[in-house]
C-alpha cells in the first residue's frame, strides 16, 4: 500500500513540481528572493506584479514600492529564474480602495496607514482571487511574518527577526486568507540573509535599496499628495491650547499628526507643547503638555480576531498602538460592533486612524487587531 506523500516545504501534500505558487512581486529584493527560492526548490512559480499608479510619475521616482522601474526589475528576476511574469493594472482599484480613503482620513483629522489597507483590500483580496483563478495552490509574498500550523489551523506569528517584523501591517489578514498565504522569509534571522540569497541566485536586485516611502507619497510629503487629490483641502485655522487659548495659526490640519512637537511655530512659550488632537470640523490643531497625550482607553472598529474561538469576554493581550512601538500589556473585550482596549499603563500619542494590534502575552502569536476610532 503506497505511503501518503509527505508535505512539501509549503505544507502541501504535493511534489513541488505539481504545486503552483503565485508570488506577489514588488520588484524589491524580498519578493524576488521568495520567487527565486521557490523556483529553485522546483515549484511551478508564477510571478505577478501590480501596477498601482501612473508610470509616467513612477519612472521619475526612487524608493517607492511599485514604480515603473520596480516592474522592470521584477520582470528581469523572472527572466533570470525562468518563470512566467504578469503585470496587472490595478491603478483605478488602488486609487479607490487605498488612496481616496487615505486623503479623506487625513482631512478628517486621522492618521491613516495605507500600507495596511493595500494588503487588506488589494494584495490579500483581489490579487489573491487572481491567484485562485490561475489555479494556484497558494500565494507567497516577501513579508517578514510567519505562518505556523497550530492545533486549530494556521496561525500568524511575528517574524524571527524583530527588526524586520511586519505583523503590525498584516493584522487584518483573515483566517481564510491565511489558509492560502505563505511567507517564506518570516523565519530568516536577518535581512543580510535575504540579500545573501539574492546574490546566490544571481538576482539583478541583490543590492537594491529597501523602499522607504509609501509608494504614492514622494519623499513623505503627505500634504502635497492630499492637496493634489483634494484641491483647497489645506485650509488655514487656529492652533488652540487645551485650556482654550488661541496660540497661533496653521496652514491646514492635514500638515499635523497627533504627538507632533516640532514645526508648530509656537516660539516663546514656557512649556513644550504637543499636538493632542486634530479637530477637522473646526479646522483646529489642539495642543497641550506631554501628559495630555497619555491614553488608557482605546476604542476600535473593524476588528479582526485571530485567537482560538470567538472574541467574547475579556482577553489578556499585548497591544501595539503604533508600528514603531513595543507591544504593552492590555485587556481587550468586544464592544458594540468593535472592541474596547484597556492599556494597563498609559501610552502616548494613540491616534485615530492608526491600528492597534494584539499579540499573545507569551510567545510570538498575532491575535489580530483593529483600527483606532478614539482614545482617552
Compute φ and ψ for 233, nearest 5 degrees: -75, -25
Q: Is 369 helix (H, G, I), strand (E, B) or coil?
A: strand
Active site residue 138: no
Q: Are 355 and 372 in contact (CB under 8 A)?
A: yes
| CA–CA gap between residue 194 and residue 294 (Å, rounded) | 39
Asked if residue 21 lies in contact with residue 45, where contact means CB atoms within 8 angstroms, the answer is: yes
Could you give the dihedral angle defined by the CA atoms of residues 230, 231, 233 and 237, in that order, rounded to the nearest 10 degrees?
180
Reading the block at residue 78, the C-alpha cell is: 523572472
- Judge residue 74's burial from the number of C-beta atoms within 10 Å of its C-beta, 0-12 exposed, 13-18 middle, 19 or more buried: buried
Exposed / middle / buried, residue 331 (Cβ in 10 Å: 0-12, 13-18, 19+): middle
115, 118, 138, 356: the catalytic one is 118
Which helix H or strand E contains 296, and what residues bound it?
strand 294-305
CA distance 233 to 106: 10
Q: Of these residues, 65, 66, 215, 356, which one is catalytic? A: 215
Choose among 180, 153, 155, 149: nearest CA to 167.
155
118 is catalytic: yes
Residue 286, classed as helix, strand or coil, is: strand
CA atoms within 13 A on the CB side of 52: 31
How far apart are the C-alpha atoms of 319 and 302, rounded to whole Å? 16
Nearest to 48, CA basis, from 90, 9, 18, 12: 90
Residues classed as catalytic: 118, 215
Amino acid at each position: 500500500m503506497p505511503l501518503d506523500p509527505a508535505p512539501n516545504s509549503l505544507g502541501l501534500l504535493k511534489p513541488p513540481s505539481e504545486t503552483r505558487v503565485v508570488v506577489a512581486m514588488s520588484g524589491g529584493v524580498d519578493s524576488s528572493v521568495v520567487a527565486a527560492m521557490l523556483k529553485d526548490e522546483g515549484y511551478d512559480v508564477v510571478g505577478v506584479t501590480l501596477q498601482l499608479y501612473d508610470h509616467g510619475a513612477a519612472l521619475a521616482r526612487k524608493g517607492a514600492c511599485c514604480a515603473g522601474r520596480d516592474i522592470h526589475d521584477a520582470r528581469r528576476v523572472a527572466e533570470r529564474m525562468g518563470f512566467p511574469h504578469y503585470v496587472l493594472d490595478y491603478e483605478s482599484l488602488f486609487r479607490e480602495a487605498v488612496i481616496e480613503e487615505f486623503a479623506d482620513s487625513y482631512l478628517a483629522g486621522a492618521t491613516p496607514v495605507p500600507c495596511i489597507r493595500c494588503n487588506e483590500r488589494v494584495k490579500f483580496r483581489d490579487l489573491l482571487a487572481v491567484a485562485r483563478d490561475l489555479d494556484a495552490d497558494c500565494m507567497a509574498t516577501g513579508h517578514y511574518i510567519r505562518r505556523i500550523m497550530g492545533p486549530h489551523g494556521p496561525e500568524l506569528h511575528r517574524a524571527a527577526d524583530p527588526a524586520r517584523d511586519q505583523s503590525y501591517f498584516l493584522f487584518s489578514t483573515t483566517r481564510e486568507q491565511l489558509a492560502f498565504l505563505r511567507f517564506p522569509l518570516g523565519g530568516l534571522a536577518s535581512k543580510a540573509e535575504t540579500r545573501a540569497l539574492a546574490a546566490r541566485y544571481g538576482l539583478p536586485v541583490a543590492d537594491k535599496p529597501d523602499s522607504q516611502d509609501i509608494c504614492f507619497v514622494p519623499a513623505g510629503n503627505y500634504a502635497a499628495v492630499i492637496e493634489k487629490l483634494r484641491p483647497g483641502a489645506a485650509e488655514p485655522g487656529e492652533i488652540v491650547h487645551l485650556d482654550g487659548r488661541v496660540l497661533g495659526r496653521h496652514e491646514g490640519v492635514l500638515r499635523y499628526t497627533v504627538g507632533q512637537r516640532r514645526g508648530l511655530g509656537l516660539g516663546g512659550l514656557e512649556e513644550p507643547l504637543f499636538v493632542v488632537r486634530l479637530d477637522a470640523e473646526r479646522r483646529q490643531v489642539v495642543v497641550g503638555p506631554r501628559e495630555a497625550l497619555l491614553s488608557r482607553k482605546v476604542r476600535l472598529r473593524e476588528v479582526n480576531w485571530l485567537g482560538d474561538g470567538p472574541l467574547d469576554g475579556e482577553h489578556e493581550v499585548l497591544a501595539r498602538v503604533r508600528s514603531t512601538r513595543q507591544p504593552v500589556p492590555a485587556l481587550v473585550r468586544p464592544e458594540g460592533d468593535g472592541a474596547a482596549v484597556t492599556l494597563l499603563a498609559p501610552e502616548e500619542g494613540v491616534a485615530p486612524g492608526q491600528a492597534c494590534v494584539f499579540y499573545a502575552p507569551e510567545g510570538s502569536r498575532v491575535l489580530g487587531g483593529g483600527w483606532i476610532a478614539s482614545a482617552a
